[in-house]
Structure 1
Amino acid sequence: MTANKFEIVPEIQRTVALPPKASINAALGANHDIRTGLDELVDNSIDAGSSMVAIILHTRAKRIVQLSIHDDGVGMSKDKLEDVLRLGGHEAHSEKNIGRYGMGLKEGSFSNADETMIVSRVRGQHMVGYQLSKTSFDAGLLSENSCTQVWNTRPDSVKSSSGTSIVWTKLPNVYAGTDDQEAGRFLNRVSEGIRLHLAIRYHRFIEDGRLKLDLYSQVDDMLPISAGPIRGVNPFGYRRSARKQYPLRLTVNGDPEAPGITAHLWTNRSKTDEFNLEGKDELGHQGFYFYDADRLITQGGWSSFRSPHKQWKLARFEVDDPRVIENYLTISPQKGSVRLHESFYSFVKQLRNPDDTSIDFGRVLEDAESVIRASNKKSGKPDPLADTGRGIARSIQEVLWASERTKSADPINVAWGEVGDGGLLELDHSEHLIIINEDFRAHFTHGHVGLNDAPVLKTLLYLLFNHLLSSGRWTGKSASNADLWIAMLNAALEEELDETEKVRKRVGSAFKGESAGF
């Protein structure tokens, strides 16, 4: 049989190597900002068995001049470090291993630094280090002295005998202007942005104690200062669900052992970080939350599954089953988005609740809509209040935020202190402050003092004096109302103290009688 005239059979004379040009590093460095670039490095630290990761913003005159990240993982030998620094070099992915493509360290670093130093140490071995440059595929082997200098920048929290330190220098994406105020604002935005972003991405690791993340600032050659460990922010960390049967597990055909997802319904008008995540969205960050080896990949969104809808803004779907991750979608190399396979759509159609197979994915969206409708119907729009300030527990603040009825005014603060006339309290209108007499603190707290003690008393006083303290002017009428209300409270306190003393005497007399009988 003769070959088809359109068929070409190639004859290979020799093979020509076509390595990529160094300019590809610029393309690799176009996929991350500082926050997501740090994600890649934290991923590597987790895969290396780290329990502590410290990030340091090195500043000079309020300008970020260097950024470093340090961990207490197992470290890397010279051979392993060289392999990791090659494009595509990485360990095989597993359910416990976040790394997938061997691109993260390079992409995250090249996006944020023209030069990167990596120093690593395996327990019992000498440290080894390299410098990467965005303009070359070559890596510069660091001297022992340079490795030691990098290692000595590690804060006390990661003073271990093994681990890895990465230093970004020559940062192209930071403020370099002459306005000191703008430099300070930029520094604060970056610092808080990093803190919140990592708190969300790694909330599972933080909450169960597997990982401690700490953000430091270091001014010139001073010691780094920590703002405290990063607290996890759980996208499903509501105090109560909008419907008592939620969260709901949905699995293929309602089989408890089959792959599935978990459906959540938030309450309406929440103001918490857990609901607003990295920024308030009128659509509520609805949609899928994909996890890979417990690391959050997406913060909501439908990944082209469907278009967002305002009536579904309270619906969130937790997708962390490894069988779903491996079989129905592809995670992007930057691990910040996913591409759904065609099979994912049929997978969702088969989802049912094992306890009630009439409940499917569509039913969850219907429930989300009904919660919105019910919330809007019973929203009588209470009078707006000034926000709560110092001295009032966060849980009380969250209730106020959920109402979405705060007004533009300085927060009302409550504090224990000296009261001139010896009464229960006094007001400081200029400071928007309620001062409760320290002498009565033990009476209201039963000896259990703290920043947010006596929450009922403080909340009632906050509500009573909210309008007076948040008004723009302190008039004669305001002063008269305040004097009357405080006088009534002082009288009530005297009655309460008298009753308390009577009870104490009765109990004391009864105790003496029992002792005499004995």
Structure 2
Amino acid sequence: MSSSTSLPASWQYDVPTSGSVHLPPDAGYARALTNQGYSFEAAVADLVDNSIDADADAIVVHFLRAHDRIVSLLVLDNGRGMDDAGLDSAMTVGRRRDYEGQALGMYGTGLKAASLSQARSLTVISRTRRTRAVGRKLTVEGVEDGFRCDTVEPAFAQQQIDVYDGLIEWHGTIVRWDRVRAFETVAPGQSEQFLSKAISRLETHLGLYLHRFLSRGLNLDIAVWDVATGEETDHISVDALDPFGYKVPGKAGYPKKFLAQVEGVGPVDLEAHIWPAKSNLAGFRQIGAVNDRQGFYFYRNDRLVQAGGWSNFRSPEGHMVLARIAVDLPVGENDVFSLTVKKDGVEVTPAFTSGVDEAVDAVGGTFRAYLTDAQAAYREGMSRSVVERPAVIEPGKGFDPKVKRAVREELPLKSAEDPIRVEWAALPEDQFFQLDRENHALLLNKDFREDFNDGRRGGANDAPVTKTLLYLLLQDCFGLGRWEKKRADRIEYWNGILLAAVHAQRERRNRRSS
């Protein structure tokens, strides 16, 4: 419609009203709250965000199991904690609180929506430096019953805090999921396999989306505790998984910074990177299909909220897999960038793509020239020949995550073989190790465990050097058809030599202690 066209007299830009009524949400809203489309990893990440916002520098994601059944999940932190009023506010469905400028939270729904999308029961127990332990419990049934929130018995709340006093000394929070839907679908005898895959996916997701915090010293662990035996059966530290963590760029002169003038926002920095071709580093290969990971990486307050994709700027293609661009979203709300509730994607308006198309670097180089450089680096890199390395069976439970990541980066894996696990076991005194080829297990004599842990018992992933050396020696002994006599003899003399070495080490240790 042209500006000269007159509007009808009945037309009004603002619709007039004559009053208002308050319409509380229907109880059926609970079903919408539990159906937000969160993945398990994204839901846990939302809880970790809350811990970071509470100034926690140590966070543990704790799977609880009872023998072969997974029963609960807890996220523990040593943040500043909440009192009764703060906890009531945090548990109020639909209430949005004021967030500080650098907070990771945004909409005020993450705790409830993320939790109830995965579990039918959410419990939060917290303590501040000046207040006692308090707790609230929110269930799907309670939300359906007029948004009822239950108060946790104070004695139980304190008891839970006491259980984790190594982490929560003076203040902190425990978020607990019970009746977790994914856990209830695990068939008998499958909990170990489920946990292995779930922890691996969670480690990758948290390591990627929180990599800037982890690089700055955030301690984030994933552990498994058997409540029936009281033993911790697995424990790993999550390491930063930097999507820009190459050692040498794929083309000299990169990364480069481009400036995009975005209408409605102003200047936006684009940090353009080119990965080296054929890289096996975890930040390139282990964060998903490389074709999906090209493009823009949006950060909000240092938290990654979109890992790849071109946001309607262009289509993905094979020749562009080395191109990744880091973009820090402008502070404050605007009409150009819209973050999803799950914090796993960013919607942009055409103002952003137009600004990118005209972006230039400090010497006038264009963003389009960067895309051409990325394509050329891919073609040149793919034309180079590389030495073929033999495929190996993946190391599994009992190996430190850093070792497992290094193996995946350096060597191709045999996809059809189950991972090799390593564990300490009761063995005859004349054996240092034993192979359980049927169950893909490398067994170490537990009588020697303290010798490799400075006199301590050690954890699930202890003695990493010893375990890794044995893995490199023995991984080709698994997954074979016929067991050759020559190979069996090699295992026997290796065992004898290593047994002599461990006895020599024990004698040295005993002499030092005396």
TM-score, normalised via structure 2 length? 0.72
Partner of 2:72: 66
**Partner SS for 2:351:** helix
Instruction: Work out which of the residue numbers 243, 264, 274 in structure 2 matches 1:265.
Output: 274
Q: State the partner residue of 1:142.
A: 152
CA distance in 2, matches of 1:84, 1:410: 43
Corresponding residue to 2:128 among 122, 126, 133: 122
CA distance in 2, matches of 1:282, 1:206: 23
Query: 3-state DSSP class of the match of 2:180?
Result: coil
Using the alignment, how far apart are the partners of 1:370 and 1:190 within structure 2? Answer: 38
CA distance in 2, matches of 1:139, 1:40: 21
- Note if contact 2:68-2:188 (Cα within 8 Å) is conserved in structure 1: no
Q: Equivalent residues in 2 for 1:43-62 (5 A)?
A: 43-62=49-68
The answer for the alignment partner of 2:35 in structure 1 is 30
Give the distance between the partners of 2:23 and 2:359, measured in 1 at CA: 48
2:221 paired residue number: 214
Q: Distance in 1 between matches of 2:66 and 2:346?
A: 39
Asked if the contact 1:266/1:315 (under 8 Å) is kept, the reply is: yes
In structure 2, the residue corresponding to 1:151 is in which secondary structure?
Answer: helix
Residues 284-330 of structure 1: per-residue CA shift (max 9 Å, x gap): 51011111111111111123332211110111011125359856311
1:36/1:394 CA distance change after superposition, 3 Å: closer
CA distance in structure 1 between the partners assigned to 2:409 and 2:152 by the alignment = 55
- Relative to 1, partners in 2 of residues 1:471 and 1:195: Cα closer, same or farther, differing over 3 Å? closer
Aligned partners of 1:316, 1:468: CA distance in 2, in Å? Answer: 40
Deviations 1:441-479 (A, max 9, x none): xxxxxxxxx9779x9xx9xxx99xx99999988999x99
Q: Provide closer, same or farther for how the CA distance between residues 300 and 325 of structure 1 changes in structure 2, counting only shifts above 3 A.
A: farther
The unaligned stretches of length 5 or more in structure 1 are: 413-427, 434-449, 483-518
CA-based RMSD of the aligned residues comes to 4.0
Aligned partner of residue 59 in structure 2, secondary structure = strand
**Match of residue 166 from structure 1:** 175
Q: Secondary structure, in 3 states, of the residue corresponding to 1:301? A: coil
Mapped to 1, the partners of 2:415 and 2:66 lie a distance apart of 39
2:327 is matched with which residue? Answer: 319
Q: Percent identity?
A: 27
Counterpart residue type for residue 145 of structure 1:
A
1:455-506 C-alpha deviation (Å, 9 max, x unpaired)? 9xx9xxx99xx99999988999x99xx9xxxxxxxxxxxxxxxxxxxxxxxx
> Tell me, what secondary structure is at the counterpart of 1:206?
helix
Q: Is the 8 A contact 1:175 1:183 kept in 2?
A: no
Give CA-to-partner distance per residue, 1:150-181, whole Å, 9 cap, x none. 3234362x12211111111111122535441x
- Following the alignment from structure 2 to structure 1, what is the Cα–Cα distance between the partners of residues 375 and 294? 12
1:114 aligned counterpart, secondary structure: strand
- What corresponds to 1:202 in structure 2? 210
Letter in 1 for 2:160: V
Aligned counterparts, 1:182-331, within 5 A: 182-209=190-217, 211-221=218-228, 222-224=230-232, 227-252=235-260, 258-279=267-288, 281-283=289-291, 285-322=293-330, 328-331=336-339
When residues 184 and 400 of structure 1 are mapped into structure 2, their CA distance, relative to the original with a 3 A threshold, is: closer
- Show CA shifts across 1:247-293 (max 9, x none): 1111247xxx95311111111222332112443x1515101111111
Change over 3 Å in CA distance of 1:219–1:155 after alignment to 2? farther
Amino acid at match of 1:154: Y
Q: How many residues align?
A: 424
Deviates more, 1:54-63 or 1:66-75: 54-63
User: Is the CA contact 1:270–1:398 (under 8 Å) kept in the aligned structure 2?
Assistant: no
Secondary structure, counterpart of 1:298 in structure 2:
strand
Please point out which of 88, 91, 104 is paired with 1:98.
104
Write the distance in 2 (CA, Å) between the matches of 1:4 and 1:406. Answer: 75
Q: Following TM superposition, by how much is the alpha carbon of 1:241 offset from its aligned partner in structure 2, in angstroms?
A: 1.1
Query: Where does residue 112 of structure 1 map in the other structure?
Result: 118
- Find the aligned partners of 1:40 and 1:397 in 2 and give their Cα distance: 30
What's the offset of the Cα at 1:91?
3.7
Question: Aligned in 2, Cα 1:326/1:212: closer, same or farther, shift over 3 Å?
Answer: farther
- Code of the aligned partner of 1:219: D
Extract unaligned runs of 5+ from structure 2.
1-7, 421-434, 443-462, 491-514
Separation in structure 1 between the aligned mates of residue 90 and residue 406 of structure 2, nearest angstrom: 49
Q: What does residue 185 of structure 2 align with?
A: 176
In structure 2, distance between residues paired with 1:202 and 1:396: 20
TM-score norm. by structure 1 comes to 0.71
Tell me if the contact between 1:58 and 1:64 (Cα under 8 Å) persists in the aligned partners.
Answer: yes
Asked if 1 retains the 8 angstrom alpha-carbon contact of 2:209 and 2:304, the reply is yes
Structure number with larger C-alpha Rg = 1
1:17 to 9, 22, 44: 22
1-structure distance, mates of 2:79, 2:163: 16
Contact 2:260 2:270 in 1 (8 A): no
The answer to whether the 8 Å contact 2:34/2:117 transfers is yes
1:40 aligns with 2:46: yes
* Contact 2:161–2:168 (Cα < 8 Å) also in 1: no
Alignment partners' CA distance in 1, 2:177 and 2:394:
38
Question: Could you tell me how far 1:11 is from its partner in structure 2?
Answer: 6.6
**2:88 pairs with 1:82:** yes
Q: CA deviation at 1:60?
A: 2.1
